[in-house]
């Protein structure tokens, strides 16, 4: 039996492996944050899911960036609301659903093929239903 046959099937997940993954988690978090920021200006791209994803990635890679996001005036409340209550604010739901409807209208206006409109419509209805049925979170004010 050779030495390489005695190697474990899965590599250890100790501190060295976690440290090696930090740059990948940080890059994924930065990319998600950039997409979330772009989503502020493009109605076809959602902001909140990307910012929540960025927070999850930064939690594994950069305490400083994670804390910055959690304490951010605009991004922090949505992240904390999701983390603590698995909830989306009524305002967040409204904007998400309006953006999804806008994306569908744009697809109609651009003459997207019927089969693609059908697929897009099914996905948007499924995701819109999921978003609409999330709890609102705690009352503020």
For residues 139 and 20, give the distance between their C-alpha atoms in angstroms, rounded to a whole number: 41
Q: Tell me, yes or no, whether 94 and 108 share the same domain.
A: yes
Q: What is the pLDDT of residues 81-131, one digit of tens each?
A: 888 898 988 988 888 888 889 889 999 999 999 999 999 999 989 988 988
**One domain, residues 79 and 99:** no
> In the chain, how many domains are there?
2
The Cβ of residue 87 has, within 10 Å, a number of other Cβ atoms equal to: 18
Same domain, 123 and 104: yes
Give φ, ψ of 77 to 5 degrees.
-60, -40
Would you say the C-alpha torsion 124, 127, 132, 137 has a positive or negative sign? negative
Q: Is the pLDDT of residue 46 over 70?
A: yes
Percent of the chain with pLDDT over 90: 42
Interval 56-65 mean pLDDT: 92
Q: Is 75 exposed, middle or buried (0-12, 13-18, 19+ CB in 10 A)?
A: buried
């Amino acid at each position: 039996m050779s030495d390489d046959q005695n190697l474990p099937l899965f590599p250890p997940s100790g501190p060295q492996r976690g440290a090696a993954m930090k740059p990948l988690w940080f890059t994924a978090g930065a990319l998600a944050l950039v997409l979330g920021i772009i989503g502020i200006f493009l109605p076809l791209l959602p902001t909140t899911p990307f910012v929540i994803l960025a927070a999850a990635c930064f939690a594994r890679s950069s305490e400083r960036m994670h804390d910055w996001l959690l304490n951010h005036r605009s991004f922090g409340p949505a992240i904390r609301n999701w983390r603590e209550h698995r909830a989306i604010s009524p305002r967040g739901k409204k904007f998400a659903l309006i953006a999804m409807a806008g994306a569908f209208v744009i697809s109609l206006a651009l003459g997207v093929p019927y089969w693609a409109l059908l697929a897009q419509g099914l996905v948007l209805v499924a995701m819109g239903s999921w978003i609409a049925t999330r709890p609102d979170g705690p009352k503020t004010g």
